[in-house]
Structure 1
Amino acid sequence: MNKSIQLDSLQLGVCYYPEQWSDSLWEDDFKRMKDMNLSHIRIGEFAWSIFEPQEGVYDFDLFDRVLDLAHQYGLKVIMGTPTATPPAWLTQKYPEVLNATIEGVTYQHGMRRHYNYSSPKYQELCANITRQMANHFKDHPAIIGWQIDNELNCEVSEFYAEADHIAFRQWVQERYHTLEALNQAWGTVFWSQTYTDWNQVYLPRLTTAHSPNPHLVLDEKRFISDNTIAFARIQADILREIAPHHWITTNGLFGHLDSHALTEEMLDFFSYDSYPQFSTIFGSDEPKPLLDRKWSQNLSVVRNISNNFCIMEQQAGPGGWVNRMNMPAPRPGQLRLWTYQSVLHGADLVMYFRWRTATFGTEIYWHGLNDYHNQPNRRIQEASQVGQEFVAIGDKIAGTTYQADIAIVKDYDNDWDGEYDIWHGPLTGKSINAWFKQLQYQHIPTDIIYLRKQTLAELQQYKVLIYPHAAIMSEQTATLLTQYVEAGGTLILGARTGYKELSGHCRMAPMPGPVASLCGISVADFTSITGNAQVPGLRWQHNNHHMAQVAELFNDILQVNEDDVEVLATYTSSYYEDAPALTQRLYGKGKVLYYGAAFHEDVVDELLSILEISSPVADWLEVPEQVEIGIRQNEQHQYIFLLNYSDQEASIQIKQQRTDVLIDTLIEGTTTIPAYGVMILQ
C-alpha cells in the first residue's frame, strides 16, 4: 500500500529554529516567509531541553508564542518530537539510554542520536515527552502534522548497548522459537558455534579477524529495522490517540531500516531530506558521473514508498559541519534546480533547510536561505522565484505521479546481506549505478522498486524489470518473476542471482537457483575478478562486435540447458574464452536475460539498443545528455520536466507545440534551457 501526502497544490516551506534566535526576530522572519510564498514551517525536533528542562517539568511557553505568531501569519506548522537529542540531565541520570560501539564503548553526550532504541527507560521518557507535547499542542490551529524523531538511523545504524543485546535475544526467540531452529538458520554447527542456551546469543561482537557469523549479521540488520520501527511506533500510537486529526510522518532513508514497512505500519506518508551535493562531493571517479543528478536515484526510492511525499529538508545552501561535509555554495540556479528535481520525482511539499544559518554550534557552516547577516541574497531570490512559480503552477502538478515503463528492482535482504558479502554486494552498487546513469543519459524515466509483497498486476505496469544481483531469492519470488515474464514482461538478471535462500545459506542446486529453469541456463563455473586478473571483454553475437574490459567484478560462465536459449554475447579471454556471458530466452509472451557479470555502462547501452528501449518523448523532443527528462501525469494531463544539470545552456528541439507552464507560453522549434535551468512542458 503506497501512502501519499494529500495536497491540492505544491507547497513550499522551511525548517525554523526559534529557540536559537531572539524573539525580536520572529515576526520579521514570518512576514518575509509569507512574502516569499512559504506556507509551512517545521519546528521543535531538537528542543527537548526547552520542552522539559528538568525531568517531569515541562515548559511550552516559547513554542506557544511561536505557534501563535505563526498562525497570525497563516503559516502551517509541522511539530517534531525531540527524541533525536536527549538533554544532558537525561543522559547523566540514565546512562543506560546511551548507544555503544561494537567494542562495548559507550557513546557520550555532546552530539545527537547517541541513544539506543532498546532502553526501556528511554522508551518511557520518549513516550512521556511525546504525550505531554501531544496533549498540549493537539488543539493549536497552526499545527497540521508531526514528524517523529529526526532521521532515524542517521549518524549510526548499529546498536550494541546492553539493552540492545537483550532486545535482540528476545527478537531471536520470537523469530525462531527454539534453539534448534536458530542453530539451523545460522548454521552454527560450523566452527562449533552451536548455542545451548538463549543467554549465549548476542548481537555481533568483536571476533578474531573481525568476521562474525554471516547469518547472524543478516539477522542483526533485520532486528535493527524491526527495533527502529517499534521505537517509532511508541510515539506514533500516542499521537494517533491524542491528535488523530494531525498527520504523522518522519524523515529519512537511512541504513538498516525498512522504510516501506515503517510507512505502511504507522505513517501517513514518507518524508525525505534531499541534499544533492552529497552525490557531488562523495561522487565517484567514473567517466561522466551523474554528480548531483544522481540524487534522482535516491528520490526514486522515496517515490516507491510514497508516490507523493514531503521533502522535509531541501538543500538551500553550502553545507557542512565544522569538521566534515565540506560542500561549496550552490551555483546560481542550482537551488531552484534541486527543488524541481524533488518535485519531478514526487515531492508535493518541499521544506528548505534552513531559514537562517546558525551562528553557533556544529552546523555553523550549514547554510540556509538567509546568511548570518539576515540581509537579501541570491538564495532568497531563487527561493522567492520558486515560491511564485508554485503559486502559479502548483494546482496543476500536485497529485500527479511519476511515469516510468522500466524499473530497477532491489530488496532489503540483499541490501543488508550485500553489506557484508563481498561476492555480491559490490556488484549491485556497480550495476545499479550503470543502469541508472545510462537510462538518465538516454532520457528514459525509471522507477526503483523494492520487491516485497507485490502482486503480478503491480509488476506488470513495467515493461522491463532490472534485478541485477539478487543473491537471496525465495521460491515465491522466483515464481512471481516467472509469471511476470510469461505474461509479457522483460526481466534482466545478473551474476550471482539466486544462489542463497532467505537465511543466507547457499543452495545445494545449480545456480541461478530458483530461476535457473526460467532462464534455461546454469552456471557451469564462476570466478571473481580481482587484483591483477584480466577483465574479459564481450563479443556480441548479433554483429560480432567486440568490446574490451567490460565483464567486470565477477564472471559467471554460463551453460545453455534449453534449445530456445540464445547466446547474445561471449567472453573474449581467460580460460573461459568463447563461453556464454549473456543469454536471452523467450518465455511465454516475454523474455528473460541473464548476464554473468556486473553491468558496465557500455553493456547497458548495447542492451538498450538490442531491446529497442528508447525515450518515451523521442519522437517529438530532442535534448542533450545534460538534461534529465521525467514525466508527472494524471488522467487529464502530462507534464514533462526538463532539468539542465550543466553549467552550459542546453539547446533543445520541440517538434510538437507544447505549453511551457512555468511561463505559460506556447513553445515549438529550437530553444534553450539556461545553465541549471528548468522547463516544464504540458
Structure 2
Amino acid sequence: MYLGVDYYPEHWKSEMLEEDLNNIVELGSNVIRIGEFAWHMMEREEGVFDFSYFDNIINEAKKKGLKVIFGTPTATMPAWLAKKHPDVLGEFEDNTKRVFGGRRQYCFNSKTYYKYTEKIIRELANHFKNEEAIVAWQIDNEFGHEGSDICFCNECKESFRKYLREVYNNDINKLNETWGTIFWSQTYNEFDEIPIPAKTITTHNPSLRMEWERFRSLSVENYAKFQVDLLKDILGEKSVIIHDFSGGYFDKSFDFSKVAQHIDVVAYNNYPVWGGQKEPIPPHEIACGLDFMRGAKRQNFWITEAIMGAQGHDVIGYLPRPNQAKMWSYQAMAHGCNSLMYFRYRGATKGAEQYCYGIIDQDNQKRRKFYEVQSFFNDMKQNEEVINSEIKSEVAVIYDYESMASFRIQRQSFLMDYKQEVYRLYRPFYEKNVNIDVIPSYVDFSMYKVLLIPTMIVFKNEVQEKIREFVKNGGKVVFTFRTAIKDYYNNLTLGQFNPSFYTDLIGGFVEEIESLQEGQFVKLKGVNEFNGIEGSGTVFRDMLKTTTAESLFKYNDEFYNDLSAITLNKFGKGEAYYIGTGVDNNLMDLLMSKIIKEANIESIESESGVEVVKRMVNTEEYYFVINHTSDIKSFNEVRLNPYESKIIKK
C-alpha cells in the first residue's frame, strides 16, 4: 500500500527540499508522485536531455525511505516544441489553433507529437530503468480532460478518413448504404469527401457522428497504448504502469475502460468538489465514480489525487469541513482504493493552480489539514489487510460507450443526462449499503444476481444475447427508457418494435414516446401489487403495451392511462423489469427494495447519511462506517461525529 503526496519540488527553492521531505515523512507517507509536468526541465532544448534534477530528488527521497511514482511529462509540452512544430497543437471546432499555454494542447493524432513523445519517454525510461525507488510509472496526465479528447485539425480529419476506409473495407458504397447518405443528398463518391462533424447548418448524419465518437476514443486508446508499449519495452513486463483518470467518465469522448486494458493499475483523481461548487456532489455520485474505477479492470485501484483543501483554477469552491476530506479518503478505501496520494503537498504560489489548496497552504505552516492526513495515513496502516481485501458484488451497473455517445449526438430531451440516469438506478442500492460493480457492457457479467442497465439505447447482438442468457438462467435485469432503439451505426431498425429484439424479453413493446422538458412531469399510478401507490416521471417516457409482462405502474392521464410505465416480465428462470420514464426517488426506492428482497441480496440498514461497506478478511467481518453529514450519527451503537469515519470489526 502506497500512501503519500503529489510533490512538485521544481516549484520551490532547492533549500526547501530537506524540510519538505521531512514533513512528508512526518505525515506517514511512503511515496511521492513527481515529474508529470516537467518536460522542459528534462529537455530544455530539443535533443538536450538532463535528468540530474530528478536524480537528486529521488536520491534525497530514498534517504528518507520514500518511494517514487514518476510521470511521463507529455501532458505539458515545452514551449520550444509548440514553436517549432505548431502542427502538434489541436484545433477547436472552428479550426482555431490551440495556443501554447494551459495544458493538454496536443492532438492525439499528431505524428509529430508521437515522435517527440517517443524521444522523451525513451530517454527518461532508459535513464531511470534501474532505479529501484521508482515503484510505478504514470503515463501522461488525465487523458481527455478539459475538452482535450476532441480535436478538429486536418491531421484528425485525414486520420478519421483512414479509419473509415479500414472499417468499411475501402468500400464507399457500403458506407453510403450503412449511413443512409442518400438522405439530404450526402452520398459520397470518395472517402476524402467525408467531413468531420464540425459546426454546420442543422446537424450531421448520426452515423457519421457515431463513427467520429469511436474514432475519438480509439485515438486516445492508441496514444495510451503507445506509451505503455514504450515503457514495457524498456523497463520490462514486470514494471507497473498506471494512468490517472479524471472525472467526467460518462461524458468524455473516449472509453476509459478501453484505456484501462493497457495499463497495470487504474488510478483516479477524485474531486468530490471543484471550483465554483457551493457544495460537494452527493455521496452516491462519489461512490459511483469509485466503483466505476474499480470496475474498469475489476481490481483495486489507486487514488493519485485526493483533495484536502478548497479547489479551483480561477474560481474557488467549497471548503471541505474538518474531517470531510479525510472522510472522502475513507470512502475511497471502502470502495476498493488501496493506495492514495493527496494533491498536493503544498499549494502553489505561482501558475494556474494557486487556488488548488494542498495539505499545507502558502503560509507553509502545519495546521488542521496536515494532521488530518497524518491521522488518515496512520489509520490505513493499521488496516492494510482490510483495505486489500476483495470487494464482492451481486449487483452490477452496465454502461455502454456507444449509448453514451448516442445521447451526446441526439440528446432527445433537454433533460437527458446519461450519468443522472446511471445515478437514478445506482442510488437506491447505495443507500441500502449494497456493494455495486460499475462495468462496461462487453465484459462477462454472468456471476451477478442483478443487472442495472440505464438507457442502453444502442443495441449490439452479442450484448443482447448475453443479457438474454443471464435472465434465462435466473438473473434479474432492470432496463430503463430508450433501451435498444439504435443499431451499432446509430440508425433505427425498420420493422422492429422498440426495444428492438427485446420485446420477448420485456414482454411488451413501446407503443408511444414523449420527450419531457423542464418542469414537466407525468403522473404514475400503481396497479396489481402496487395498487394505490402514486408517483411521477421526468426526462422521457416510453409508453408500453404488454404482451406477457405484468404491469406495475401505468400512466395516469386522460389519453394514455391504458399504457404501462413500469413492467415486469418472467423470462426463463429470471425476470426483466422495464422502467419507461425517469421515476422519482420514492418510487425507485420501492422498486429496488422489492428486487433486493426477492433476489436475496445482502443489504445493511443504517441511518440516513451513514454509508456502510462490508469487507471480509478470511472469515472475519469488517465495516467501513462513514458519516457523510454534519450531524452526530451512530451505527451498531458506535458513535460517529460529524464527517467521522471508522473501520470496525464485527
TM-score normalised by structure 1 residue count: 0.90
Higher relative contact order (CA 8 A, sep 6+): 1
Provide the residue aligned with 2:491 in structure 1: 505
Does 1:281 pair with 2:277?
yes
Provide the residue aligned with 1:558 in structure 2: 544
**CA separation of 1:359 and 1:681: change in aligned 2, threshold 3 A:** same
**CA separation of 1:133 and 1:532: change in aligned 2, threshold 3 A:** closer
Q: Distance in 2 between matches of 1:534 and 1:238?
A: 54
Once the 2 structures are TM-superposed, how far is the Cα of residue 233 of structure 1 from its aligned partner?
A: 2.1
Does 1:514 pair with 2:501?
yes
Q: Distance in 2 between matches of 1:572 and 1:599?
A: 13
Once the 2 structures are TM-superposed, how far is the Cα of residue 262 of structure 1 from its aligned partner?
A: 1.4
Tell me which of 474, 477, 480 is aligned to 2:460: 474
Q: Distance in 1 between matches of 2:123 and 2:491?
A: 48
Provide the residue aligned with 2:441 in structure 1: 451
Provide the residue aligned with 2:396 in structure 1: 407
Provide the residue aligned with 1:663 in structure 2: none
* Structure 1, unaligned runs of 5 or more: 1-9, 284-288, 655-669
SS of equivalent residue, structure 2 residue 348: coil
Q: Distance in 2 between matches of 1:426 and 1:532?
A: 13
String of CA shifts for 1:613-648, please: whole Å, max 9, x gaps. Answer: 399666xx6521111122233544433211111011
Q: Distance in 2 between matches of 1:475 and 1:599?
A: 28
Tell me which of 627, 634, 648 is aligned to 1:644: 627
Once the 2 structures are TM-superposed, how far is the Cα of residue 242 of structure 1 from its aligned partner?
A: 1.0
Provide the residue aligned with 1:263 in structure 2: 260
The 5 A counterparts of 1:292-311 are: 292-306=283-297, 307-311=299-303
Q: Distance in 2 between matches of 1:390 and 1:575?
A: 59
Provide the residue aligned with 1:144 in structure 2: 135
SS of equivalent residue, structure 1 residue 121: helix
Q: Distance in 2 between matches of 1:280 and 1:674?
A: 27
Task: State the number of aligned residues.
Answer: 638
Provide the residue aligned with 1:435 in structure 2: 425
Q: Distance in 2 between matches of 1:468 and 1:18?
A: 45
String of CA shifts for 1:404-457, please: whole Å, max 9, x gaps. Answer: 222222111111111122237916434322222222233333222211132xxx
**CA separation of 1:558 and 1:674: change in aligned 2, threshold 3 A:** same
Query: Contact between 1:431 and 1:599, CA under 8 Å: does it hold in 2?
Result: no
**CA separation of 1:308 and 1:675: change in aligned 2, threshold 3 A:** same
Provide the residue aligned with 2:197 in structure 1: 204
Identity, in percent, stands at 29
**CA separation of 1:470 and 1:543: change in aligned 2, threshold 3 A:** closer
Tell me which of 450, 456, 480 is aligned to 1:494: 480
Q: Which amino acid aligns with 1:679?
A: K
**CA separation of 1:389 and 1:530: change in aligned 2, threshold 3 A:** closer
SS of equivalent residue, structure 1 residue 328: coil
Provide the residue aligned with 1:379 in structure 2: 369
Q: Distance in 2 between matches of 1:427 and 1:377?
A: 40
String of CA shifts for 1:523-581, please: whole Å, max 9, x gaps. Answer: 12222223676623233331422424x1222222211223xx21111111141013222
* Structure 2, unaligned runs of 5 or more: none
Q: Which amino acid aligns with 1:596?
A: G
Q: Distance in 2 between matches of 1:427 and 1:311?
A: 26
String of CA shifts for 1:84-125, please: whole Å, max 9, x gaps. Answer: 111111101100000111110001011101110111111101
Higher mean C-alpha deviation, range 469-478 or range 88-97: 469-478
Provide the residue aligned with 1:251 in structure 2: 244
SS of equivalent residue, structure 1 residue 65: helix
Provide the residue aligned with 2:64 in structure 1: 73
Provide the residue aligned with 1:680 in structure 2: 647
Once the 2 structures are TM-superposed, how far is the Cα of residue 267 of structure 1 from its aligned partner?
A: 0.8
Once the 2 structures are TM-superposed, how far is the Cα of residue 585 of structure 1 from its aligned partner?
A: 1.3
Query: Contact between 1:442 and 1:625, CA under 8 Å: does it hold in 2?
Result: no
Provide the residue aligned with 1:628 in structure 2: 611
SS of equivalent residue, structure 1 residue 233: helix
Once the 2 structures are TM-superposed, how far is the Cα of residue 506 of structure 1 from its aligned partner?
A: 0.5
SS of equivalent residue, structure 1 residue 513: coil
Provide the residue aligned with 2:556 in structure 1: 572
Does 1:134 pair with 2:125?
yes
Query: Contact between 2:522 and 2:555, CA under 8 Å: does it hold in 1?
Result: no
Q: Distance in 1 between matches of 2:626 and 2:38?
A: 37
Query: Contact between 1:408 and 1:467, CA under 8 Å: does it hold in 2?
Result: yes
SS of equivalent residue, structure 2 residue 581: coil
Tell me which of 336, 341, 349 is aligned to 1:359: 349
Provide the residue aligned with 2:406 in structure 1: 417
**CA separation of 1:19 and 1:315: change in aligned 2, threshold 3 A:** same
Does 1:235 pair with 2:227?
yes
Higher mean C-alpha deviation, range 578-587 or range 375-384: 578-587
Q: Which amino acid aligns with 2:16?
A: L
Once the 2 structures are TM-superposed, how far is the Cα of residue 293 of structure 1 from its aligned partner?
A: 4.7
Q: Distance in 1 between matches of 2:272 and 2:212?
A: 30
Once the 2 structures are TM-superposed, how far is the Cα of residue 61 of structure 1 from its aligned partner?
A: 1.4
Provide the residue aligned with 1:544 in structure 2: 531
Does 1:671 pair with 2:616?
no
Query: Contact between 2:3 and 2:31, CA under 8 Å: does it hold in 1?
Result: yes
Once the 2 structures are TM-superposed, how far is the Cα of residue 18 of structure 1 from its aligned partner?
A: 1.1
SS of equivalent residue, structure 2 residue 197: coil
Once the 2 structures are TM-superposed, how far is the Cα of residue 329 of structure 1 from its aligned partner?
A: 2.1
**CA separation of 1:198 and 1:432: change in aligned 2, threshold 3 A:** same
String of CA shifts for 1:389-408, please: whole Å, max 9, x gaps. Answer: 122111x1243122322222
Query: Contact between 1:279 and 1:292, CA under 8 Å: does it hold in 2?
Result: no
String of CA shifts for 1:487-534, please: whole Å, max 9, x gaps. Answer: 111111122211211111111201111111111211122222236766
Tell me which of 175, 185, 189 is aligned to 1:182: 175
Once the 2 structures are TM-superposed, how far is the Cα of residue 377 of structure 1 from its aligned partner?
A: 0.8
**CA separation of 1:504 and 1:362: change in aligned 2, threshold 3 A:** same
Once the 2 structures are TM-superposed, how far is the Cα of residue 184 of structure 1 from its aligned partner?
A: 2.5
Query: Contact between 2:455 and 2:482, CA under 8 Å: does it hold in 1?
Result: yes
Q: Distance in 1 between matches of 2:403 and 2:455?
A: 8
String of CA shifts for 1:67-95, please: whole Å, max 9, x gaps. Answer: 11111111110111110111111101100
Does 1:590 pair with 2:574?
yes
**CA separation of 1:624 and 1:391: change in aligned 2, threshold 3 A:** same
Q: Distance in 2 between matches of 1:248 and 1:531?
A: 45
Tell me which of 597, 608, 615 is aligned to 2:592: 608
SS of equivalent residue, structure 2 residue 329: helix
Does 1:217 pair with 2:232?
no
Query: Contact between 2:82 and 2:100, CA under 8 Å: does it hold in 1?
Result: yes
SS of equivalent residue, structure 2 residue 629: coil
Tell me which of 162, 174, 186 is aligned to 1:170: 162
TM-score normalised by structure 2 residue count: 0.94
**CA separation of 1:198 and 1:584: change in aligned 2, threshold 3 A:** same
Q: Which amino acid aligns with 1:595?
A: I
Q: Distance in 2 between matches of 1:110 and 1:530?
A: 40
SS of equivalent residue, structure 2 residue 286: helix
Does 1:38 pair with 2:24?
no
Query: Contact between 1:169 and 1:198, CA under 8 Å: does it hold in 2?
Result: yes
